[in-house]
Amino acid sequence: MVYNKSRIGRQMNAPRILAAVFILLTPPAVFAQSERARDLGIVIGRFSPGPLDAVTDVKGVKVGHVTLVSGEGRLAPGKGPVRTGVTVILPAEGDLWESKVFAGSFVLNGNGEATGLMWLQESGILETPIALTNTLSVGAAQQGLVEWMLKSHPGVGVSDDTLTPVALECDDGALNDIRGRHVKPEHVLQAIDGAAAGPVAEGGVGAGTGMISYEFKGGIGTASRALPKDSGGYTLGVLVNANHGSRATLRIKGAPVGEEIQDLLPESHHDGSIVVIVATDAPLDARQLSRLSKRAMLGLARTGAVAYHGSGDVAIAFSTANRIPHYPKERTLRLEVLSDFHMDDLFEAAAEATEEAVVNALLAAKTTVGRDGNTAYALPHDRLKQLLRKYRVVAQ
Amino acid sequence: MVYNKSRIGRQMNAPRILAAVFILLTPPAVFAQSERARDLGIVIGRFSPGPLDAVTDVKGVKVGHVTLVSGEGRLAPGKGPVRTGVTVILPAEGDLWESKVFAGSFVLNGNGEATGLMWLQESGILETPIALTNTLSVGAAQQGLVEWMLKSHPGVGVSDDTLTPVALECDDGALNDIRGRHVKPEHVLQAIDGAAAGPVAEGGVGAGTGMISYEFKGGIGTASRALPKDSGGYTLGVLVNANHGSRATLRIKGAPVGEEIQDLLPESHHDGSIVVIVATDAPLDARQLSRLSKRAMLGLARTGAVAYHGSGDVAIAFSTANRIPHYPKERTLRLEVLSDFHMDDLFEAAAEATEEAVVNALLAAKTTVGRDGNTAYALPHDRLKQLLRKYRVVAQ
Amino acid sequence: MVYNKSRIGRQMNAPRILAAVFILLTPPAVFAQSERARDLGIVIGRFSPGPLDAVTDVKGVKVGHVTLVSGEGRLAPGKGPVRTGVTVILPAEGDLWESKVFAGSFVLNGNGEATGLMWLQESGILETPIALTNTLSVGAAQQGLVEWMLKSHPGVGVSDDTLTPVALECDDGALNDIRGRHVKPEHVLQAIDGAAAGPVAEGGVGAGTGMISYEFKGGIGTASRALPKDSGGYTLGVLVNANHGSRATLRIKGAPVGEEIQDLLPESHHDGSIVVIVATDAPLDARQLSRLSKRAMLGLARTGAVAYHGSGDVAIAFSTANRIPHYPKERTLRLEVLSDFHMDDLFEAAAEATEEAVVNALLAAKTTVGRDGNTAYALPHDRLKQLLRKYRVVAQ
Amino acid sequence: MVYNKSRIGRQMNAPRILAAVFILLTPPAVFAQSERARDLGIVIGRFSPGPLDAVTDVKGVKVGHVTLVSGEGRLAPGKGPVRTGVTVILPAEGDLWESKVFAGSFVLNGNGEATGLMWLQESGILETPIALTNTLSVGAAQQGLVEWMLKSHPGVGVSDDTLTPVALECDDGALNDIRGRHVKPEHVLQAIDGAAAGPVAEGGVGAGTGMISYEFKGGIGTASRALPKDSGGYTLGVLVNANHGSRATLRIKGAPVGEEIQDLLPESHHDGSIVVIVATDAPLDARQLSRLSKRAMLGLARTGAVAYHGSGDVAIAFSTANRIPHYPKERTLRLEVLSDFHMDDLFEAAAEATEEAVVNALLAAKTTVGRDGNTAYALPHDRLKQLLRKYRVVAQ
């Protein structure tokens, strides 16, 4: 078996300790960023990215990953190998419970799980961090969020309301011993503790560790757009956990990459999913953020996504602009909200950034050998560069 | 403090073992049924109930409760007292994963949590048992369902898809030390193991243990309707976990019981919720079952429910008539589905049975002293009987 | 055939002019108000009505009716008899196109038509009057609204956007020659021109002319609630066009009126519908107004509605508090919006006012003989009064 | 002003009769098909089209256009010039009222009008032809459908239910004197009478007459996919009325055509819309057809659509496989329905056909001079061919 030597591949030569899962608490900035879309000349859309081209360009947004990797080869289900993790998004500065943000959502295809979504849709608010993980661990991730919230909010469930935090998932069972449910609530707490602003590690980290996208190795990707002053000067960032798509349909800035690269397929492949988190400092309310979520999915479609039956394709969008007090002192809130007539540039930015974030996920992910030797290959940068020239995405 | 000596009240005189939670695995038929709505002459609607006047009148439906009660008085949060539990509904005979049922839903107000709902809505199917519990334990209940499914389905997550089971909750934090998260995944397995057809224990059992409804003690209630032959001869059953409502609005078959009984109020009261599970053997598809779910909520409204902001009012309906294979051998399914033109009697039956199930929950629940001595009083049967005569619900 | 001599009954003795439809442009205040719910001691809920107990208690709301009545007996379809009309609601003072209001909606059952609803749901705004009429005339009513808007807005469709106004319907085909489509666009213009604040004519007027509700004569009904100062002091008003329900399920403040009055049934009866318009000066946004719309339907349920398959049960709610400029000069809007934590009293008020508005519709409607001699009987006030005493809705 | 001599352009040199609108009842097969996507080598996706590469490849589907063109130059609003029309889709053989088809829908952005949609969503059926026209004429189109249905169904509104037919719109006000509301109900009847199977005229015909898409002349486009036997052998066809998009975002099979052709812009341009009608003979039910509708919009996204605030982007899908009787003799329907596990190829086909139908609309449309001399330019085939070579959509 020949594959690119990857971070995860190398770890599999380390002594295997089956019982104890090796935890990588990944400080985002540690990663030497590999080539991203713009490094390769893939310039998507007409708006420019923010300084980091990441969801963390939206002030106050923090991202944390806990990466769980251990074991290799064919082990009894429940014993490994482990290729999974947790990614958390902290939407805004301060205590989100006491000072909530508006949020909206769109379910393109619902073969997935999203705790907390019913309340987000009803109330239009987000009041906890968001946790991403694998399908069979979404209950553990939800519990981790509960645990973290209870620690910092002693009144919850006594003198205060209870809570329904937001946890989402994709199925990493092709690479990961998902039956082992190796993600524990404490991993969420670790991910929150390690969450930071700044560059975001992409590819096979955190919840992206075991993901497969377009039958390449997928995972976490991010991108952002900074609207010009005369479009409001707002920033919008996207983070995806890409685990979706069939090879044939993959397009990168229009180039039919999936038709061109028909090898490097995984031996085994579950139907996938994608979670898209959109953050913005534009002053949108809940209805507008649900509208925005739909446009993220239009950007996804440009990469070739068809939203297969077995895919859980969910977008959640939030705005850091208005903060909603938990128990408002006043009966009414004074809000500054964008006019719907001025949403088009944000719509376009959401589509652009999502398209780019998916490409970034593919570019960052390294070939990964997982459960039973199943291998997900990285999108080969050299061949992609050739295709980008062939299809004039970049100058020849 | 004077209150009716109740089952739960008596248990509090037993030696207290704080660390170990005392578990009541409640075989439904053990309970001597207390007076139910029809025993008091409260005949709601024009259709007759099935033999048990319970959700289990729908052939194949099983219900199991695990009741967790321990401790009393003012304890440190997390240490008790425990007044909570788990209720499971097994929708149909056989392996639900291999042979699924159609399902639909309606969210009247979304201040709650329902795992698995996104997939239920997308696919129109139900493929796991349903678990009910308290708000902060919904992650544990979801994990319990996952655990149970993995045990019986070794291919899941390896050669087979993963799963997103259906767990719902209401907040029992006024009576229960909800922060203690005393419900564990194994309680779901115990409830499933103990699930049975036959009479269903009502009131403060299982997930209903700590519930408060219309500021009386609430909890589990059930009722059913057996349609006459010329309406198709179908059976429809409802199970509720009633934790909702403010006293003033309570009406029992139109009688303004809430206006009349203004005492017996709990000292402390969280905003509530109600879960309504509708089962039927009528051959409805997913779209029709979502329509049916709405009518359950109309029955709820007749008891006075306003669906307050802080309430999670969710109905899920399923039909046992068509069974959907997990991986169908044939490309197409041959279904027999009710014509929409013949749904009106089922609509009415769903409203009737829900209205009656809420009343049954109130009638079965016993006065309960919980966390910090908070007390939820039982609806007093004697005073209710007087009111039923006064308002001519029964003959004077 | 014995029936109460009614306004419409008497008109049938007038000379019949088949070709020309006799138009009643009804100035609302002309009607000597017949007995309304509160006149009979039917006091629904805990909040008090506004001065008029009508939707027009919300400042700025105007209502106009055009009533079309002509012909009698068995005529060729398309030739009459005519028992139909138009009712318009003008939501707010000033030019609604230039200064829009927030709006939301809820479809309890969708066997109906509502033009403009897709845009209302997307944008969260209402920018035209609302017109109600019969099912086969909803296109004409929509055109009437377009006509009126074009007259007053010369830029529309040239330098300005086009429009999609809100027209709703119920089926009056049991009494009215609905195939004749006797409502013309100009009737909408007349209704708008005649719209006024002040008391609202109820029963068989305007769009209510041919309606049947609970198998009694139905039609227009209205009610309002004025919240106390410590609930915000807001006013909420409801107008219904009641054309729904089967007799057996009718309850008036809990009294089983439908079970008690089993005679006075119409010979012929189409499946019905109900439109509920909720107006408020509480500063709600679109999401909140959709939530409010659901609660109107809970009030409807308390009267016994089951939302049959053949019924179009639609609620639209709007708020006059924030006005949204058509082309805002500023990029952002400054809004004052009610906190969701303070919506419960409004929820309850919406349910109460809707319940009362349905009763008012039934009380105001007079026995009406329509197409082919089909007769819809008025709810007999004397028998109702007896039942109200029997069931202790009023003191004996 | 230089533009390609087009059919419509030439007509403007004909004697102008302002009062009488010149009606083109377009027999679809009359049109010499201009170059379509496949003629230019634009092969979208992996499935092959049906024989006509048109919605009419689905057996039973008929399309009819009435094209209204008259006047030129600057006329008083209401007097012309007229550049509008009606397109009707007859979904299936036989009497659709007596023998309905399943249908579903998806609203990507709701700045539009769709009569009949509420009932389609509730019932999951389509029981009338679908009519497309301009925004201010949607009421007239709806009335035309009512008129046609009443003629053929004398019981409707008397012994039978009433109806709520499906009419949709896009705004052609940039080219057409939309205020003049030149479409009359009889045009719908003419379009239905002229509807035929076989090739479908595309571009500026019928409802497409005045449409602008990606700031080129747009209008009607169609395409189809014939799935291979091992995907079920089903046929799926799409018809669009393309009136949406901004130039910069246009991509044709990935080639950034909009970035490359920045001239040929219309002087004036209203925000647009797109209607997508998906027909299939695959046995899908209503829920599945709504899922399918979403995938049509993913195909739209691949052409660059962002679904701007001012756009009404609506997809309706129907299946001719199961026919639902109006008043079923039996209580239950026996249906053969595709398993959801076999929908992926249909999902992909819907995306592919929609992407291609939009391209076909652009290719077929001719440069059109309309109201006040506003000109929408045709996508220039020669320049497009160069770009297709440059971006390797076709071999160099």
Phi, psi of B331 (to 5 degrees): -65, -35
Does position D17 have pLDDT exceeding 60, yes or no?
A: no
* pLDDT, tens digit (0-9, with 9 covering 90-100), for D332-388: 999 999 999 999 999 999 999 999 999 999 999 999 999 999 999 999 999 999 999
pLDDT score of D272: 84
B138-152 vs A138-152: helix axis angle to the nearest 10?
160
* Residue corresponding to tokens 């524990």: A184
Give the span between the Cα atoms of D199 and D53, in whole angstroms. Answer: 8
Q: What would the DSSP string read from start to end of A178-212?
A: GGG----HHHHHHHHHH-BSS----BSSGGGTT-E
According to DSSP, the residues that pair with A85 across neighbouring strands are: A67
Burial category of B302 from C-beta neighbours within 10 Å (exposed 0-12, middle 13-18, buried 19 and up): buried
Q: Percentage of chain C with pLDDT > 70? A: 91
Looking at beta carbons, which residues of chain B come within 8 Å of C45?
Answer: 249
ipTM over 0.90: yes
Looking at beta carbons, which residues of chain C come within 8 Å of D271?
Answer: 161
pLDDT score of C46: 95
Q: Are D37 and D223 in contact (CB under 8 A)?
A: yes
Phi, psi of B352 (to 5 degrees): -60, -50
* pLDDT, tens digit (0-9, with 9 covering 90-100), for C4-17: 222 232 233 333 33
Nearest to C307 among B45, B295, B341 (CB): B295
What ranges in chain D are assigned the alpha helix state H? 7-11, 117-123, 138-152, 185-194, 257-260, 286-302, 344-364, 381-390
Q: Are C345 and C227 in contact (CB under 8 A)?
A: yes
B286-302 vs C286-302: helix axis angle to the nearest 10?
70
pLDDT score of A175: 97
pLDDT score of C33: 54
pLDDT score of A14: 35
pLDDT score of A95: 97
Nearest to D178 among C116, C157, C271 (CB): C157
Instruction: Report the residue of D105, D163, D164 to disrupt the C interface, i.e. the one with the largest count of C CBs within 10 Å.
Output: D164
Does position C3 have pLDDT exceeding 70, yes or no?
A: no
Catalytic residue among B53, B171, B177, B313: B313
CB contact under 8 A, A302 and D306: no
Nearest to B110 among A113, A118, A136 (CB): A118
* pLDDT, tens digit (0-9, with 9 covering 90-100), for D85-119: 999 999 999 999 999 999 999 999 999 999 999 99
| Helix, coil or strand: residue C389 | helix
Does position C373 have pLDDT exceeding 70, yes or no?
A: yes
* pLDDT-derived band at B4, boundaries 50, 70, 90: very low
The nearest alpha carbon in chain C to B343 belongs to C309
pLDDT score of A41: 97
Q: Are C211 and C190 in contact (CB under 8 A)?
A: no
Give yes or no: A311 in active site.
yes
CB contact under 8 A, A337 and C333: yes
* Residue corresponding to tokens 């938990």: A326
CB contact under 8 A, D181 and C146: yes
Could you say which DSSP state residue C15 is in?
A: P
Mean pLDDT, range B234-256, rounded to an integer: 97
Give the span between the Cα atoms of A230 and C261, in whole angstroms. Answer: 68
Q: Are C53 and C38 in contact (CB under 8 A)?
A: yes
pLDDT score of D25: 55
Instruction: Work out the minimum CA distance from A331 to partner chain C, whole angstroms.
Output: 6
The nearest alpha carbon in chain D to B291 belongs to D122
CB atoms within 10 A of CB C67: 28
Task: Say which residues have a Cβ less than 8 Å from residue D10's Cβ, sequence separation at least 6.
Answer: none
Q: Percentage of chain D with pLDDT > 70? A: 91
CB contact under 8 A, A251 and D255: no
* pLDDT, tens digit (0-9, with 9 covering 90-100), for C342-367: 999 999 999 999 999 999 999 999 99
Region of C392 (left: φ > 0; alpha: ψ -120 to 50; beta: rest) is: left
Looking at beta carbons, which residues of chain D come within 8 Å of C140?
Answer: 139, 143
| Helix, coil or strand: residue A169 | strand
* pLDDT-derived band at D327, boundaries 50, 70, 90: confident
Mean pLDDT, chain C, as a whole number?
92
pLDDT tens per residue across all 396 residues of chain A: 222 222 232 233 333 333 334 455 554 444 445 899 999 999 999 999 999 999 999 999 999 999 999 999 999 999 999 999 999 999 999 999 999 999 999 999 999 999 999 999 999 999 999 999 999 999 999 999 999 999 999 999 999 999 999 999 999 999 999 999 999 999 999 999 999 999 999 999 999 999 999 999 999 999 999 999 999 999 999 999 999 999 999 999 999 999 999 999 998 776 789 999 999 999 999 999 999 999 999 999 999 999 999 999 999 999 999 999 998 889 999 999 999 999 999 999 999 999 999 999 999 999 999 999 999 999 999 999 999 999 999 987
* pLDDT, tens digit (0-9, with 9 covering 90-100), for B15-60: 333 333 445 555 444 444 589 999 999 999 999 999 999 999 999 9
Q: In angstroms, what is the C-alpha Rg of chain A?
A: 20
CB contact under 8 A, B291 and D122: yes
Tokens standing for residue C171: 């089926």
pLDDT score of C102: 98
pLDDT score of A45: 96
Catalytic residue among A273, A290, A293, A319: A273
Tokens standing for residue C186: 């100009």
Tokens standing for residue A71: 């074991």
B286-302 vs B344-364: helix axis angle to the nearest 10?
50
* pLDDT, tens digit (0-9, with 9 covering 90-100), for C267-311: 877 678 999 999 999 999 999 999 999 999 999 999 999 999 999
Q: Max Cα separation, chain C?
A: 66
Q: Percentage of chain C with pLDDT > 90? A: 88
H or E stretch covering C313? strand C312-325
pLDDT score of C9: 29
CB contact under 8 A, C119 and D107: no
Looking at beta carbons, which residues of chain A come within 8 Å of C283?
Answer: 332
pLDDT score of D396: 72
Stretch 117-136 of chain C: residues touching chain A, C-beta under 8 Å: 122-124
Looking at beta carbons, which residues of chain B come within 8 Å of A150?
Answer: 136, 179
Assign domain B22-390 to its CATH superfamily.
L-amino peptidase D-ALA esterase/amidase (3.60.70.12)
**Cα angle C270, C272, C275; round to 5:** 155
* pLDDT, tens digit (0-9, with 9 covering 90-100), for D181-226: 999 999 999 999 999 999 999 999 999 999 999 999 999 999 999 9
Give the span between the Cα atoms of C261 and B330, in whole angstroms. Answer: 54
Torsion of CA A10, A11, A12, A16, to 10 degrees: 150
pLDDT score of B396: 72
Catalytic residue among C57, C172, C313, C345: C313
What ranges in A97-152 are assigned the alpha helix state H? 117-123, 138-152
Per-residue buried b or exposed e for D318-331, using 16+ beta carbons within 10 Å of the residue's own CB: bbbbbbbebeeeeb
